[in-house]
Structure 1
């Protein structure tokens, strides 16, 4: 999928000598920016058919239109080998900055923290960590060799918050079903760590089924049907993203279980807002992939302009919603949903 944003972006009249800007990315050698070369951005995504990922593309598209840089989108289709090959290709095709959402963070680590900076390529992460940092929090989400990490709403702490909400809302023994994404995906690794902590801290929160999915609503609907057949006394479902709920809710309706099984999710979308209002789900979390992509692009632009860029930008670069503490995910319920503006359908 190729995108080239062409905007009226004219330099002021007059001549200027070439300038090199050195950007500290935490290595012995900085990334050196040739300011005579225009920004040519490569955006690496997990899978283009996902609604949240489409928001990432929208964020870059808007920034490109605003600032007049070119970009191309590389869709890995949840195949980390494909993503690494795409990065190899990008290294030899003149891209001087990358925004990366990894399929699997450890396997792309060498590319984003060594190979790219060695070729003077600035790398920003948007809602996906590298180098085994999926289970970390705060400043530890940044990988040396990269410019910045933008995210924070898909860390173990963020997922734990929605699970704690489910446990608090439903005291006593509960039979819990879990829907996550593919194995080894950074979000899955993060979610699993949170779930392990919850199971230790809340013994009544009994996980009786866990299904990996491809994030599509049809797959999640099928997995929910299987879960309900095997566990007729299921009382809670927790999903790693809204697409899990989009599949789970119709499966619950078909089984006559809507209202009996409480649904909690992460990654609040437009669908989530309506589902909260109707009572189809009980809570979601703030998630801003468009804003994260815009913040990552802005960080690259700032670095190219010689400005200092934070190593980590939390809450996906978005303003806090009322009641949200800095450094923590924002919980969205029926009580405060009117104050939440989603960024994905």
Structure 2
């Protein structure tokens, strides 16, 4: 049974997916007139490679996510189950437990099994899984839609000139927003504008090998160049509240002069960050700027525990991944980049403050 939260996120997702998948002809990754063998449609994934995707109901789809030990992962899981059911897909969810090696093994096993027609992947290590997802999956006739975390070395090479930079040939598309360089630059610029002058900053991120972390670190280098009074450190976590709390607590014991914490994911990391600051007796002097979603995020903004946020859209992201595969079955492969934003865009993220909460769509409040 859907919860009120999942129904609300589904409503938000439906609108954004329709807009995102409309695409423009010049950015299309498929040819509606290009038929494969009987009962399939040939989808161009770049590099002169086509995947013959089965049409009709019962498409077997593997969904690989980092884990379900945090709210983001649970929202991905809900979206995958609900959307697959609506689209008539036979979906299998793979939980990697935040272990990149385990996820790689899961993907290799799924590929060699011959049991899957398509895949949605949020890679824990986009470099380690690069060849598998951009070459081997396509050769195995598996159409792959990438969710949120860029592959190969695109995390650090992004210049911010085009959102298409996050798409890698060999895959159908890239769905997301918050891992594009423009988005991260927008978040950090908003934090810098709200916190001018000399600042002792610590960024609480995911695993060091995670491509989202690499994108954020590249953007933080620019933040430091643009704000010479900033002193910036980094904490790596496994995306869980407990790890964020423990490591932030230890950091603050050695750096009580901290004035700004950048949390890469709310509610999970931000919960740990806020509690660590409270336990250190530093809540009144530390500002928190995060990226997140859900009731917790709004409550913390209203309470003044978080200064500003930009949004994550885990439900809509997964819905867009699966919906783009369904569209490809109909011969409409759509754009290479699908923006999952419900408000704002990947190139211009909406900044949420206590004063702008009222501007959010009702389903996000």
> Shared topology, TM-score over 0.5?
yes
Cα distance in 1 between the residues matched to 2:74 and 2:118: 20
1:341 shift after superposition: 5.4
Cα distance in 1 between the residues matched to 2:346 and 2:277: 35
Cα distance in 2 between the residues matched to 1:328 and 1:169: 17
Q: 1:236 maps to what in 2?
A: 260
Q: Are the equivalent residues in 1 in contact too, given 2:62–2:120 (CA < 8 A)?
A: yes
Cα distance in 2 between the residues matched to 1:62 and 1:18: 29
Equivalent residue in structure 2 for 1:223, among 244, 247, 262: 247
Equivalent residue in structure 2 for 1:50, among 56, 70, 95: 70
Q: 2:126 maps to what in 1?
A: 105
Cα distance in 1 between the residues matched to 2:259 and 2:128: 37
1:221 shift after superposition: 1.5
Q: 1:4 maps to what in 2?
A: none
Q: Which runs of 4+ in 1 moved over 4 A?
A: 341-345
Please list every run of 5 or more consecutive structure 2 residues that lacks an aligned counterpart in the other structure.
Answer: 1-36
Q: 2:20 maps to what in 1?
A: none
1:340 shift after superposition: 2.8
Give me the CA root mean square deviation. 2.1
Cα distance in 1 between the residues matched to 2:199 and 2:335: 42
Q: What is the 5 A alignment of 1:269-308?
A: 269-308=294-333
Cα distance in 2 between the residues matched to 1:55 and 1:87: 21
Normalised by the size of structure 1, how large is the TM-score? 0.88
Q: Does 1:26 align with 2:65?
A: no
Cα distance in 2 between the residues matched to 1:55 and 1:93: 28
Cα 1:344/1:251, change in 2 over 3 Å: farther
Q: 1:171 maps to what in 2?
A: 196
Q: Does 1:265 align with 2:290?
A: yes
- Cα deviation digits, residues 262-295 of structure 1 (max 9, x gap): 0111123321110000000001111101101111
Higher relative contact order (CA 8 A, sep 6+): 2
1:66 shift after superposition: 0.9
Q: Are the equivalent residues in 2 in contact too, given 1:55–1:344 (CA < 8 A)?
A: no
Q: Does 1:252 align with 2:277?
A: yes
- Cα deviation digits, residues 286-310 of structure 1 (max 9, x gap): 1101101111101100111111311
Normalised by the size of structure 2, how large is the TM-score? 0.83
1:65 shift after superposition: 1.8
Cα distance in 2 between the residues matched to 1:93 and 1:29: 19
Q: Which moved more, 1:60-69 or 1:187-196?
A: 60-69
1:238 shift after superposition: 0.8
Cα 1:36/1:225, change in 2 over 3 Å: closer
Q: Are the equivalent residues in 2 in contact too, given 1:287–1:342 (CA < 8 A)?
A: no
1:342 shift after superposition: 9.4
Equivalent residue in structure 2 for 1:130, among 151, 154, 177: 151
Cα distance in 1 between the residues matched to 2:219 and 2:48: 35
Cα distance in 2 between the residues matched to 1:74 and 1:19: 27
Helix, strand or coil at the partner of 2:171:
coil
Q: 1:95 maps to what in 2?
A: 116
1:134 shift after superposition: 1.8
Q: Which moved more, 1:132-141 or 1:184-193?
A: 132-141
